[in-house]
A and B are shown apart, each in its own frame.
Chain A
Amino acid sequence: MSALLELEDVCVRFGGLTAVADATMSFAEGEVHALIGPNGAGKSTVINCISGFQRRSSGEIRLGGETLPHLDAAAVARRGITRSFQTPQLFSRLSVIDNVRVAHQRQRRARLRVDDLLELVGLTEVAHHQAENLAYGQQRLLEVARALASSPRLLLLDEPAAGLASEDTERLSRLLKLIVTQFGVAVMIVEHNVPLVRRVADRISVMHHGLVIATGAPDDVLNDPAVIAAYLGGGNPSTEH
């Protein structure tokens, strides 16, 4: 599996605060790469930085081997990198289906039809409801559907399972597996739900205080003493349900 997107020594500083320090990581097509770590570790900043919502202070981002210049969010999206947001950012006055259409109507060769996208995330029945009337979990799933509607090469998901009911989390994990295996999309997921991460991730990176403290296969990373100390706490994560 070749790396689609690579970060090399990426730093993001806000004044005197270093939110992300020398982050180096890569995202491969057909792979789910989970980024975990305590709150404030810099995970969302990494997503913002890749998706063009935050300028990096230094370091390099390469897409398909070529250096990605500082681009605004829309230009990044047009290069096939789409995202969801930590707090759902829906087009609240539009219907569910129109939310997906906004992203879909730009595509000349869309991977999936709008109806199929809604089917995938289980929102077919509420397709014509106004987005702001959706339950919280459904709003998150709609964000995923909208991000997928742009036929992305890299999908960045910022805590997609937060607030999801267990059956929706189940659906999300099946969906993630499907999009990486069927469409070869590279997925980066920031998530606190460790069982979900364990189930879907091919690779895990752990951040703490802006630093990437571990990267590797899920079993290795989740049993790493440094990771347990920084994030997972005393309990053995492998015994979690």
Chain B
Amino acid sequence: MGAWALVVVVLWFLPSRVLTDYQLYTFNLALVNILLAIGLNLVIGVARQFALFSGALFGIGAYVAGICQVRYGMSFLAALPLAIVAAMLVSAATSLIAWRAGDLYLAMITFGFGEIFQFFLVHADGLTNGPDGLAVPRPNIAGVSFAAPGELHLLFLPLTVLAIAIYRLIETGKLGRLLTALGDSEPALASTGYDHRVVKTIAFAIQGAYAGLAGAFFAAAVGFIDPYSFGLSVTLQQLTAIAIGGLGSLAGALVGSITLTLIDRVLIDFPGVRELAYGVCLLIVFLAVPRGLAGILSRQKSLP
């Protein structure tokens, strides 16, 4: 516990002193991707509900945070909970589909939802400013501006750590047990008296909360949002991240999303090559370590 606290403190204060702005910007994006990946991991990796609309939930978080600040003059800290709640509600509502449809059907329907959402962002000009996008102000808390990547990092890191800690509590508690049980056998879960539909909705709601938080961070980190940042590619990137890291594992989601963020940054100037790199990574991981990068750690631990 103490060692972890030390790591967090070091990660909080050290990077803004030693890293360049670009590196800090990448660091912040990694935090955003971590939040997205752990939310998706809970739904797909743990509860095994193939919902493919992370990108849309991420967009809801970003746009609600952005619109609240730009159109209604709210502060970042006031807009943040609204972004979380909005994505959470939309995700929970979408879970009603998962009450009946499973697997491929759920994947198709949620994918469709993501496409419609993007269409909405493009065409609801009055609210979203359409394809031109929205410039989002930098957070300002009690007169202190968080504009530079190093300043934003000071704000994002503790909140991300808190979100990871909450995830860990969920994962290791009664709820986590239920979510795993849901993923393993719906009939068996029902036979213990739990309504699998309620458990699904809870899983979706949690994913929504994480994606909403990630969206609000993203809007603040980049300072500009447009509809094209929240499509299927985001979902696929996160799916790749948790697959590379090891489906269902928190450590896997962390390792995977950091890895992909770095690949993403390195290859940003080579469109197409990036997706190819994701594919190569998936192939290498599946062939070499089928349980994902996080599996390497646990495998070494279990050796006599």
Contacts and interface: CB of A to CB of B under 8 A. Distances in A.
Given A53-B187, A90-B185, A93-B248, A74 B180 contact: no
A93 B177 contact: no
B194 A98 contact: no
B191 A83 contact: yes
Contacts of B187: 53, 73, 85, 89
A105 B175 CA distance: 10
Interface string A92-103: 111000100111
A51 B191 CA distance: 8
A91 B180 contact: yes
A140 interface: no
B190 A77 contact: yes
Given A74-B194, A74-B196, A93-B248, A102 B183 contact: no
Interface in B171-200: 174, 177-178, 180-181, 183-185, 187-196
Of listed A85, A103, A150, residue having the most chain B CB within 10 A? A103
B187 to A, nearest CB: 5
Contact of A93 (B178, B183, B188): B183
Contacts of A74: 189-191, 193-196
B193 A103 contact: yes
Kindly name the residue among A85, A93, A150 whose own CB sees the greatest number of chain B CB atoms within 10 A: A93
Contacts of B248: 93
A101 B192 CA distance: 10
Contact of A94 (B181, B191, B195): B181
Interface string A66-77: 000000111101
A128 interface: no
Nearest to B193: A77
Contact of B192 (A75, A85, A93, A103): A103
Contacts of A149: 192
Contact of B177 (A82, A90, A92, A98): A98
A102 B191 contact: no
A102 B189 contact: yes
Q: Please tell me the size bucket of the interface on A.
A: 20 to 34
A113 interface: no
A131 to B, nearest CB: 8
For B174, B191, B194, B195, which residue has the most chain A Cβ atoms within 10 angstroms?
Answer: B191
Contacts of A150: 192-193
A174 interface: no
Contacts of B188: 85, 89-91, 146
A128 to B, nearest CB: 13
Interface in A150-203: 150
A102 B181 contact: yes
A53 B181 CA distance: 18
A147 interface: yes
Interface string B119-161: 0000000000000000000000000000000000000000000
Contacts of B183: 93
B194 A94 contact: no
A105 B248 CA distance: 22
Interface in A47-76: 51-53, 72-75
Nearest to A105: B174
A13 interface: no
A63 to B, nearest CB: 15
A150 B190 CA distance: 12
A155 to B, nearest CB: 11
B292 to A, nearest CB: 14
A51 B188 CA distance: 11
Of the listed residues A51, A72, A73, A150, the one surrounded by the most CB atoms of chain B closer than 10 A to its CB is: A73
Nearest to B192: A103
Residue from B181, B184, B193, B196 with most neighbouring chain A CB atoms (10 Å): B193
Contacts of A94: 177, 180-181, 184
Nearest to B173: A105
A78 B184 contact: no
B184 A92 contact: yes
A91 B182 CA distance: 8
Interface of A: 51-53, 72-75, 77-78, 82-83, 85, 89-94, 98, 101-103, 105-106, 146-147, 149-150
Given A74-B196, A90-B188, A98-B177, 8 more contacts: A74-B190, A74-B195, A77-B190, A90-B185, A94-B184, A101-B174, A102-B181, A102-B189
Interface of B: 174, 177-178, 180-181, 183-185, 187-196, 248
14 contacts: A53-B190, A74-B189, A74-B191, A74-B195, A77-B193, A82-B193, A85-B191, A89-B185, A101-B174, A102-B177, A102-B192, A102-B194, A146-B192, A150-B192
